Amino acid sequence: MLRINQGIDFNPQCVAIHSDNNPEWLTVDQWATAKQCVIVPVPHFFTATQIAGMVDQAGVDSVFCQAEALPLWLSLGFQQVAVFGALTVLARTPPIEVNLPKNTHKITFTSGSTAQPKGVRLSLSHLLTVGQSLARATEHLGLKKHLSALPYSILLENMAAVYANQFANKGQGLDIVSVPMAEVGLQGSGHFQPEKLVEALIKHQADSLIMMPAMLKALLQYLSNHPNNLSSVKFMAVGGAVCPPALIRQAHEMGLPVFQGYGISECGSVICLNKELSEDGSVGRPLSHARLSLDDNSQIIYRGPRFLGYLGDTTQDPDDKYEQSCYATGDTGVIDQQGRLTILGRLTHLIVNGFGRNISPEWIEAELLALAAIQQVMVVGDGQAFLTALCVSEYDEETLFQLIQPINSQLPDYARIQAVICVAPFNEANGTLTATGKLIRQEIYQQHLPQLEQIYDKYTSASQYGNSLLTAMPSNGR
């Protein structure tokens, strides 16, 4: 029950939710929806600076937060006005005026390909349409209980627990198991203890969950050495980043019902989903609300309900035409004769790590090049649990790693460098640099692939014995 302080006029318009997963998170979401507020989930991986920017961009005038986050919100000019169970409710007056389209229901912030993440504006009708489509796609599995293994600040988990759940189980909804992330082994945006997830699945006998590829990889490594009975699970969705087919095959060989999907926030988080245990590397066919085609560059073009635009857009369409127009995803792919989509890559250099966080390598490289010790650098980590820096320097790897730590401390955890490899200079002669000084990224990556594979294989071996995902990683590339 919401208990408002005496004498306070509490009429929020834009509500932020800053909390670990718990049943109250979902209740606040439902309450704010009923009041027709704009809802802003606060990403668990945001820094204080990013949260402050988010508040100003979205015009947040109230927040429901846990005690740990209270000092931050007080520092941003918010004052306590109420309590909601274990959550503190704060408001800020006067609110910042932000002109949002009248249909804006939820603003989901991506991890950001730069230091300033984008806010994706979504309508309720869009999210409900995708939710109904997702529920139909999984109806044949007879799901009853869903374990939220990802934070609700991630749209993918939000879609499952909030929107698809309204149509699941013939409209009766699923039993949503909502526990703190530490209980399912996930901490921050890149620390995962697979044994915790196994314990939670067995304890709650959940039959569905959603994971990122890096989580699946760690889970399979753990189960290979510590077999457990996970027969209650009927549906393990893997998304957020492309999952290697070898992982899918390994999971199926171990009896795990892993289904790969594909989507982006701008299109409601889910576009495609395998309805069958496919091992061909595809992400399945489009859901009922979506239509896909490819342009001349094999870029995936989506048609269906989509976002209302980004925060800060100067052009806004007042009707539903904006939601129904085509959208170029930036991803490339192949569609087979059965209509199944396979993701090939991206038109840009954007890194999507193993936890689904989007990272512009140029952003991190610019930070690293500020160090006199680094002459040239390329950051890699696509599909992996952490980033590695290929550095041209006179220093050794261990020294470089220590020099990078002050930069790491200023970056969100998903954007920090966890390993360093010293490499030969990039130049035109060895095919790693263009005449205008641009990195030829694919060539650089291929030249150093054996070293990169050694690093990530060493990390995987170290992390499978209950260590947190990144603390198991050695401090350098040797």
CATH 3.30.300.30 domain extents, the chain: 360-463
Q: What is the average pLDDT across 396-423?
A: 95
Is pLDDT of 465 > 60? Answer: no
Q: What percent of the chain is predicted at pLDDT more than 90?
A: 66
User: What is the per-residue pLDDT across 70-105, written as a single tens digit (0 to 9) for each?
Assistant: 999 999 999 999 999 999 999 997 777 778 888 999
For residue 322, name the pLDDT band (cuts at 50, 70, 90). Answer: low
Are 191 and 354 in contact by the 8 Å Cβ rule? The answer is no
Residue with tokens 């060539």: 443
Whole-number pLDDT of residue 346: 75
Which residues face 62 on adjacent strands? 15, 91
> Where do the DSSP E strands lie in 263-401?
272-273, 285-286, 291-294, 299-303, 309-310, 326-335, 341-346, 351-352, 358-359, 376-380, 387-392
Classified by CATH at the fold level, domain 2-98 comes out as: Rossmann fold (3.40.50)
E strands, 263-308, in order: 272-273, 285-286, 291-294, 299-303
Which CATH architecture describes the domain 360-463? 2-Layer Sandwich (3.30)
Q: Which fold has domain 122-309+321-348?
A: Rossmann fold (3.40.50)
Which pLDDT score, from 0 to 100, does residue 360 have?
81
Q: Shortest CA distance to 235 belongs to which of 264, 260, 267, 257?
A: 257
Per-residue pLDDT band at 430 (split at 50, 70, 90)? confident
Residue identified by tokens 């060989």 is 253
Read off the pLDDT of residues 170-180 as tens digits, 9 standing for 90 and up. 899 999 999 99
The CB-side HSE value for 166 (13 A sphere, CA atoms) comes to: 15
d(CA 378, CA 236) in angstroms, rounded, equals 34
| CA diameter of the chain | 74
Confidence of residue 314 (pLDDT cuts 50, 70, 90): low
pLDDT: which is higher, 354 or 106 = 106
pLDDT at 468: 37
The DSSP call for residue 122 is E
pLDDT above 90: residue 24: yes
pLDDT at 285 over 90: yes
CA 354 to chain CA centroid, nearest Å: 9
Model confidence, pTM: 0.81
- Rounded to an integer, what distance in angstroms lies between the CA atom of residue 470 and that of residue 192? 8
Mean pLDDT, rounded, for 209-223: 90
Which range of 73-77, 435-439, 453-457, 467-471 scores highest in mean pLDDT? It is 73-77
Which band of pLDDT confidence, cut at 50, 70 and 90, is reported for residue 319?
very low
Contacts of 317 (CB under 8 A, 6+ apart): none
Chain region(s) in the chain for CATH 3.40.50.12780: 122-309+321-348
pLDDT value of position 317: 53
For the ranges 234-238, 253-257, 321-325, 327-331, which has the lowest average pLDDT?
A: 321-325
Instruction: Give the tokens for residue 197.
Output: 């997830």
Residue 458, φ and ψ in degrees, nearest 5: -65, -40
Those residues with Cβ within 8 angstroms of residue 94's Cβ, 6 or more apart along the chain or in another chain: none
Average confidence score pLDDT of the chain: 88
In this predicted structure, what is the pLDDT of residue 316? 54
Boundaries of CATH 3.40.50.980 in the chain? 2-98
**15: pLDDT confidence band, cut at 50, 70 and 90?**
very high
Residue 373: the pLDDT is: 92
Band (191; pLDDT cuts 50, 70, 90): confident
The answer on pLDDT for 297 being more than 60 is yes
Contact 432, 447 (CB under 8 A): yes
Choose between 66 and 217: higher pLDDT.
66
